[in-house]
Every structure is written in C-alpha cells, then in structure tokens.
Amino acid sequence: MNDAVPEKKLKLATAALCGCFGCHMSLLDIDERILKLVELVEFDRTPLTDIKAVGNCDIGLIEGGVANTENVEVLRDFRRHCKVLVAFGACAVNGGIPAMRNQFDLQDCLQEVYLDGIGVENPHIPDDPEIPLLLDKVHPVHEVVKIDYFLPGCPPSADTIWIFLNELIAGEAITFPYSLIHYD
C-alpha cells in the first residue's frame, strides 16, 4: 500500500453484467483494506453505492460477459465515461460459464428452461417488454468495446484485485506474483 494519498481522489465505478457477482464479492474480500481504498478513490456507480447512472470516472471495473441488450448499453456507457476500463474476472475476459450456452441455440435454451424442463409450472417464455432481450451468444467484453486491462480469475482473488488497484492508482507497471494469476 502506498502511503502517499493523491491530492484528488480518483473515481471508481463498477458494474456486473452477465456474471455471478463473485468478482464483486472478491472485491469485498479485501476486507478492512477497503478503508484504505476509499482514501484513494471515490466510488461512483457500483452495486455498493446504488448510484444508478455512471458519471465521469477514472477507473471502471466490468464483471461478467455481454449476454443481453442491457449489458451492451451499460458496457458502452462505462466505456464512454471511464478513462480506464478493466475486464474484471473470467466472464468479462472470455465469457466464462455463461458462454457455455453458446453451444446451443438460444431458442432451445429458453424452451428447455421455461417450457420443457423438469418441474416447470405454468410454462411460458418471459416476454415482458421491460426484460432486456437476450443476445444469441454471450460475448467477452473486449468484443464489444475497447478494454484497457484484463484481470482473469473466477474470481480474481482479493490480493490480485488489491495489487492491481494499488499499482494502477500509483501509476506503476502492473505486475503480479505467479500464484495470483489464474483462469479459474
């Protein structure tokens, strides 16, 4: 941890697209170090602050892949507002577990889940206009917008996130010990 506190706090935003929220849980796993983090950054839109719209930010962390139209909108909004955008975790980096549905036609997935699956009651494919439309495939975020940094891991460990944010905020080259980079 760098003792020097920057004069002006950087702004940090995070979003969860098509993931399991595990990467955000891992971010919280930095435990009491989050007190040091809030000395360095001000949280903008994140699930932690409940701010709904992303403002101009220095750093944006994107968890999850792109699976529906809302994910595309949020991701593009983050790209417009964040100086540095980070693919945060396996799903953002390569689609991850949700991308396993790319092996099947979307219609077959919906049919199995909402119509033909075991134990389904009142079979009906949800069609409320407020529900974002699903894309036919789940995509990694770099296939939709330019990404500046990739942080693999399912999830990236708290130490990985901590080292990354500290080095990034300090303007240093990002380097990790061997055991902190993994794809699972």
Partner 1 sequence: MSSDKKFKLDGKDIPFHDGDTIMDAVLRAGEYIPHLCHNPEFKPNGSCRVCVVDVDGRHMSACTLPAAKNMEVDNSSEVILDQRRSLLQMLFVEGNHICPACEKSGACQLQAVAYYTRMLSPHFTHFFPRRSIDASHPDIIFYFNRCILCGLCERASRDVDGKNVFSISGRGINSKLVFNSPTGKLGDSALSATDKAVSVCPVGAILPKHKGYEDPIGERLYDTKPISVVGDVAANHSANDSSRNGD
Instruction: Indicate whether 25 belongs to the interface with partner 1 (CB under 8 A).
Output: no
Instruction: Rule CB under 8 A: choose which of 150, 159, 163, 166 binds partner 1.
Output: 150
Instruction: Rule CB under 8 A: choose which of 71, 96, 160, 165 binds partner 1.
Output: 96
Instruction: Indicate whether 64 belongs to the interface with partner 1 (CB under 8 A).
Output: no
Binding letters toward partner 1, positions 161-180, x by CB under 8 A: -----------------xx-
CB of 102 to partner 1, least distance (A): 4
DSSP labels, the chain: ---PPPSSPEEEEEEE-BS-SHHHHHHHTTTTHHHHHHHHEEE-SSTTTT--S--SEEEEEEESBEEEHHHHHHHHHHHHHEEEEEEESHHHHH-TGGGGGGGS-HHHHHIIIIIISTT--S------TTSPPEEEEEE-GGGTS--SEEE-SSSPPHHHHHHHHHHHHTTPPP---GGG----
CB of 151 to partner 1, least distance (A): 7
Instruction: Indicate whether 51 belongs to the interface with partner 1 (CB under 8 A).
Output: no
Instruction: Rule CB under 8 A: choose which of 77, 84, 142, 163 binds partner 1.
Output: 142
Q: How far is CA 76 from the centre of its chain?
A: 13
Q: In the complex with partner 1, which residue's Cβ is closer, 40 or 155?
A: 155
Residues of this chain that interact with partner 1 (CB under 8 A) are 87, 90, 93-97, 99-100, 102-103, 137, 139-140, 142-143, 147, 149-152, 154, 178-179, 181-184
